[in-house]
Amino acid sequence: MDCVKVLLDGGKGGVESGLKNVSSHCSISEMDDYDLSKLLERPRLNIERQRSFDERSLSELSVGLSRGLDHYESAYSPGRSVLDTPASSARNSFEPHPMVADAWEALRRSLVHFRGQPVGTIAAYDHASEEVLNYDQVFVRDFVPSALAFLMNGEPDIVKNFLLKTLQLQGWEKRIDRFKLGEGAMPASFKVLHDPVRKTDTIVADFGESAIGRVAPIDSGFWWIILLRAYTKSTGDLSLAETSECQKGMRLILALCLSEGFDTFPTLLCADGCSMIDRRMGIYGYPIEIQSLFFMALRAALAMLKHDAEGKEFIERIVKRLHALSYHMRSYFWLDFQQLNDIYRYKTEEYSHTAVNKFNVIPDSIPDWVFDFMPTRGGYFIGNVSPARMDFRWFALGNCVAILSSLATPEQASAIMDLFEERWEELVGEMPLKICYPAIESHEWRIVTGCDPKNTRWSYHNGGSWPVLLWLLTAACIKTGRPQIARRAIDLAESRLLKDSWPEYYDGKLGRYIGKQARKYQTWSIAGYLVAKMMLEDPSHLGMISLEEDKQMKPVLKRSSSWTC
């Protein structure tokens, strides 16, 4: 069956408005600090509730954050309060930014209920739009910033409901035409239909059969695992992750990703349109966004899988894959000034295991823009690496998740933040944050996108600016000790977002114009802002979405690295 429906009695529940006043806490798992070589000797997952922090003690982080913000405030906005969100205002006698209350009100308006219980948030609440399309559905990836906002505000029930509901949807039979999808595939989205006469609720899930291009979302399963860990870390509630249903759900997702095939690389082979960039944009192959999420989901699952017979088998496979994946990504996807110079001087047609140019990349295929874009100080993970092809475009989500998951080494993470500072106008401009850089145009745009009218240059996925990415940038800034970068980006967002009615994306080289087809009151633009504000106010929140570096996975790089110069 192409479309599966479930009928259950129920109705729409009430919505409690307003921002809860709760004390912040963050339960931290010792499992995040694995020595992978000793992993299999551990008998069982044991997570303790602590007030510690993944990177360093909270007290140390708070001191560093305060110093960084003080430095930034004195340099960029004298006389303004540093931490001006509600919880901090009580401590520091500052009024919260007026956008915060509006954002919470808008976020609560987007809540979706099933049988009287909140189970997610719709993609956009734009009554002015003539066509609803699928913006009235609950998207797995879109809900992540909403979920983090509710967790940080001490409201975990909606997140638990979402995790359980999507887990039930995973168990449905999934078919596109006459082809059956893998058992572990998670939906891209689902919709709740209310029948006021029968007083029933109907759920309709989309596993890709209704999507542009009919592509299944590879990232949904990864985000589900990452969000399950965030819920566990935030609440200290281990019981959900330890249920047989959640354990099976994780194993099914992992089984799809860890299956053996013809690949010679540890990265995941993907079709175009399988992630946040869900239209044809030339990301087929091994896109950085999927590889970073894959790495993070593997590490998150590693911390939550039970050490029973079934779990131990997957743990062994995860450990092997993490070692191979981290080496591959850090060695072949990383680009800095020195590596760019090395690629520029590559010899081609090399054979045998002694080859330096292992993917036979032709130096003449390096685009001209990257030579001017690459500073002597800084670096990033490029968009894609496959035989005879390197996509040198910079992608925001993949690089930020690489920092949060510790796929990037501390030196690489620092270099990515250096790039933000060196290329602020290109990557941030007047509205954070460019989804990718640069835009493709002219003949290349026609070939790569198939003349997609929505992905014209500097618009939508083709170099558009997406406010939702603000939360990922902020998290990366806090983890790398650069809170002043996050504050600067948040200030830019606060100057426009509320006035512009929370658009989905902005267009133009600098992100100056509201996107030509952007929806207003886009939920993840709202939630991304709230999460960024709350994380900057209380850095301990970062613990639920950040993973400590595992030094056992750090490769020995034989070439020089420009970030140490």
* pLDDT 10s digits, 36-59: 444 444 343 333 333 333 434 343
Which one, of 412, 400, 395, 396, lies nearest residue 535 by Cα? 400
The rounded distance, in Å, linking the Cα atoms of 401 and 379 is 15
Give burial (CB, 10 Å; 0-12/13-18/19+) of 349. Answer: exposed
Span 445-466, mean pLDDT? 97
Answer yes or no: are the C-beta atoms of 34 and 51 closer than 8 Å. Answer: no
pLDDT at 555: 52
Q: What percent of the chain has pLDDT over 70?
A: 80
Say if CB 350 and CB 356 are below 8 A apart.
yes
Question: Lowest-pLDDT range, 264-268, 301-305, 337-341, 557-561?
Answer: 557-561
> How far apart are the C-alpha atoms of 340 and 346, rounded to whole Å?
10
d(CA 379, CA 467): 23
Torsion of CA 136, 139, 142, 147, to 10 degrees: 100
pLDDT at 535 over 90: yes
Query: What pLDDT score does 95 carry?
Result: 59
Spatial contact of 394 and 437, defined as CB atoms under 8 Å apart: yes
CB neighbours of 236 closer than 8 A, spacing ≥ 6?
25, 27, 47, 49
Confidence of residue 129 (pLDDT cuts 50, 70, 90): low
- Using a 10 angstrom Cβ sphere, with 0-12 exposed, 13-18 middle and 19 or more buried, the burial of residue 500 is middle
Nearest to 541 by CA among 62, 101, 11: 62
Residue with tokens 């906002």: 149
What is the pLDDT confidence band of residue 96, given thresholds at 50, 70 and 90? confident
Compare 126 and 502 and report the one with higher pLDDT: 502
Dihedrals φ, ψ of 376, to 5°?
-70, -20
- Three-state DSSP state, 512: coil
* Across 471-484, average pLDDT: 98
- Inter-residue contact 228 to 291 (CB < 8 Å): no
Phi and psi at 97, nearest 5°, equal -60, 135
Q: What is the pLDDT of residue 382?
A: 98
How do 334-336 and 379-386 pair as beta strands? antiparallel
**Is 90 exceeded by the pLDDT of residue 323?**
yes
Residues 32 and 233: beta-carbon distance below 8 Å: no
Contact between 435 and 465 (Cβ < 8 Å) = yes
Buried b (16+ CB within 10 A) or exposed e, 191-203: bbeeeeeeebbbb
Q: Is the pTM higher than 0.75?
A: yes
Q: What confidence tier does 260 reach under pLDDT thresholds 50, 70, 90? A: confident
Average model confidence (pLDDT) for the chain? 85
| pLDDT tens-place string over residues 165-183 | 999 999 888 888 888 888 9
| 340 has pLDDT over 70 | yes
Reference 473, options 493, 453, 454, 457; nearest CA is 493
Listed range (168-177, 411-420, 495-504) with the worst mean pLDDT: 168-177
Nearest to 297 by CA among 351, 257, 266: 257
For the chain, counts of helices (H) and of strands (E): 19, 14
Q: Could you tell me which residue, 3 or 154, shows the higher pLDDT?
A: 154
pLDDT of 474: 98
